[in-house]
Structure 1
Amino acid sequence: MEINGLPLHVLVVHAAVVLTPIAALAAIGYAVVPRWRDWLRWPVVVAVVVAVGTVWVAFLSGDDFRGDARFATASGEFADKLDKHEDLGGILRWVASGFGLVTLAAVALHTRTGVTRILLSVAVAALGLATVVLTIMTGDAGAQAVWGS
């Protein structure tokens, strides 16, 4: 799929690379700073839904883009870099999805305290951090494939 001659993947990855870490950091703040929870609850819901959506659109459009004829002859180091980027994108979509589901559960159980709150907060923080790291690694792998030497 293209928009004005540009592959959708090339356009949407920028949203995923910017919005996903912002959503994850906001969710981590929601999880670990109790006084911020009421204030961050709804912005976190919106940010997480949009961020996970952009990750999935980036993955699906990347899969479509990789099947394009311009990559049919990709070989050697370039093909290896594309494969690494594709593999990381596949992992990212599931980690980001898990992060999104756990974050939405934490918000849905907003008033819970005790063990439930602690477990949800730890899960949101851990998956949020993993999502940030994987987003950076995936974006870097894609940039290295396109712009690396």
Structure 2
Amino acid sequence: MEINGLPLHVLVVHAAVVLTPIAGLAAIAYALVPRWRDWLRWPVAVAVVAAVGAVWVAFLSGGDFRDTDRFAGATGEFATKLQDHEDLGGILRWVASGFGVLTLAAVALHDRTGVVRILLSAVVVATAVATVVLTVMTGDSGAQAVWGT
């Protein structure tokens, strides 16, 4: 799919690369700073849904983009870099989805305290960090495939 002659993937990856770290950092703040929790509850929920949606659209549009004639003759180092990017994108979509589900669960269980709050906070922080790291790795691998020397 294209928008004004540009492949959708090329456009939507920017949303994923920007929104996902913002959602991750907001979720970490939500989990670790109790006095901000009430204020961050709904912005985190919206940010996580938008980020996970952007990751999925980037993944799906990337598959369509990869299937175009533009990449039919990809060989050598370029093909290897492209495959690395595709593999990381496949992992990212599931890690981001897990992050989204766990963060939305933490938001839904907002009033919980004690061990439940500690466990929710721990899994939100862990999945947020994993999602942000994978987002950076996936974006970098795509940029290296296209722009690297």
Task: Pick the TM interval, shorter chain.
Answer: over 0.9
Partner SS for 1:107: helix
Does residue 27 of the first structure (1) align with residue 37 of the second (2)?
no
Q: How does 1:114-125 map to 2 (within 5 A)?
A: 114-125=114-125
* Aligned counterparts of 2:146 and 2:32: Cα–Cα separation in 1: 37
1:8 deviates by: 0.1
Q: Which residue of 1 aligns with 2:75?
A: 75
Partner SS for 1:110: coil
1:103 deviates by: 0.2
Number of residues of Structure 1 aligned to a counterpart in Structure 2: 149
**Matched residue type, 2:98:** G
Q: Give the unaligned 5+ runs of structure 1.
A: none
* Aligned counterparts of 2:35 and 2:131: Cα–Cα separation in 1: 24
Q: Which residue of 2 aligns with 1:145?
A: 145
Q: Give the unaligned 5+ runs of structure 2.
A: none
- Regions of 4+ moved over 4 Å: none
Q: Which residue of 2 aligns with 1:86?
A: 86
* Aligned counterparts of 1:107 and 1:83: Cα–Cα separation in 2: 36
**Matched residue type, 2:26:** A
Identity, % of aligned positions: 81
1:19 deviates by: 0.6
* RMSD (Å), alpha carbons: 0.3
* Aligned counterparts of 2:67 and 2:117: Cα–Cα separation in 1: 44
TM norm structure 1: 0.99
* Aligned counterparts of 2:39 and 2:113: Cα–Cα separation in 1: 17
Q: Which residue of 1 aligns with 2:57?
A: 57
* Aligned counterparts of 2:68 and 2:113: Cα–Cα separation in 1: 51
